[in-house]
Amino acid sequence: MSTPIAPLDDLLVLDFTRVIAGPYLTQMLGDLGAEIIKIEDPRGGDDFRHYNPPGRTGDAPFFYGLNRNKKSVTIDLASEAGRDAIRALAAKADVLVENFRPGVMAKYRLDYDSLRAENPRLIYCSISGYGHSSPFRLVAGYDPIAQAETGLMHLTGPEEVEPQKAGGSVADTFTSLHAGMALMGALQARHRTGEGQHVDVSLFDSMLAAGGYAAMYPLMLDQDMERFGNGSAVLVPMGTYECQDGRIMIVVGNDRQYARFCEALDRPDLASDPRYGSIADRLANRVVLEAEVVNALRARPREDWVTALRAAGVPAGAVRTPKEAVASPEARGRDMIQSVTHDGKAQDVVASPFRLSETPVRKPGRVPLLGEDTDTVLAELLGYSPEQIGKVKGS
């Protein structure tokens, strides 16, 4: 039986991305089998290589979580030799991904229109804060700013405190996923037409689209959704609740689940009480019902409640720390935590979430050291001599 081929095994991707939104996208493409050539500045590379907690040196956890299965090539874009090398690589590439501010790549004549002349099949993906056609295209884009400007922050956090950003970089992540979907569409279109195209994805657009239901409130009702913290504007009970030894997240999604929830709570009176008979009733009497639920859940440990509620068919889960999550049976049972060797040492990493039955994704590989693949890539793909490689690297 032959070894399965990864879905994007024949794809060559030039990666001009840094920080999160771009690197997460190209990491997913690498998981799916594409050859990712990460172009980095010889003077330090991706900023995320250096985002370490105090006292720690070496590649940072931020960088490690976003750059597996890539090759690092250091090229000095300020030099003509460096720009010539990029043009030569782009002539061979299937996809180019960049997340510079609009106009930066054009300054070096490495924009879509310039590179398309030599490679009409090139799919060129630009990730930016506001998009290349936006009147705000030159404004720098950052995840927390996108969360703030698209209304997500307004909806996050308890009602009694100021709006909060999400704990993770959700704007960057959603933008990566949207860019990936757009790239798959562009690749499929190229199968039919033989032509590449420019894919333009922004943090602002992605977060506005991802929160589409929240945007529909003002568009349909001319009002904003209220902020309910871990609760919901349309469901009760829903939220995090204190147990004897930790917190639990519960979602009671309909009347049937509510009846089973009351049974698991050993509070049949809450199921028969007409104040809580429907979703609308429970919303109208939210404060009183929530007080009853809070008192009941404090009586037992967290895992007891998770077990009991799941047995009753009520969605529930422990509120975990990241350390608890990576050690959980759910993560281990799906092989989401795997080991790679980096600098001679074993290092556990988070694996790809993709599961394809016939064309499995790559196993996680280590992240590249800064510039470690420069000589090999330029020699093998472009036939460069050591002297030419030295000029490209700015040495």
Please, what is the average pLDDT of the chain? 94
User: Do 156 and 74 fall within a single domain?
Assistant: yes
> Beta strands of the chain (E only): which ranges?
12-16, 35-40, 71-74, 95-98, 123-128, 198-202, 238-242, 247-251, 316-318, 337-342, 345-350
Q: What is the pLDDT of residue 395?
A: 61
Number of domains in the chain: 2
User: Do 28 and 86 fall within a single domain?
Assistant: yes
**108-150 pLDDT per residue, tens:** 999 999 999 999 999 999 999 999 999 999 999 999 999 999 9
Across 180-192, average pLDDT: 98
The residues facing 369 across adjacent strands are none
Q: Examine residue 227 and state whether it is found in any structural domain, yes or no.
A: no
Catalytic position from the list 172, 224, 255, 348: 172
- Is the pLDDT at 352 greater than 90, yes or no? yes
Q: What is the pLDDT of residue 56?
A: 80
**215-246 pLDDT per residue, tens:** 898 999 999 988 888 998 889 999 999 999 99
Instruction: Mean pLDDT check: name the lowest of 8-12, 26-30, 340-344, 382-386.
Output: 340-344
DSSP assignment letter at 360: P
User: Do 203 and 303 fall within a single domain?
Assistant: no
Q: Would you call 172 a catalytic residue per the annotation?
A: yes
CA 206 to chain centre: 12
Backbone dihedral angles phi then psi of residue 251, each to the nearest 5 degrees: -130, 115
Instruction: Confirm if 90 and 110 have CB atoms less than 8 A apart.
Output: yes
Q: What is the residue range of 103's domain?
A: 12-210+338-392
**pTM for this prediction:** 0.92
The domain spanning residue 304 has which CATH number?
A: 3.30.1540.10
**69-79 pLDDT per residue, tens:** 999 999 999 99
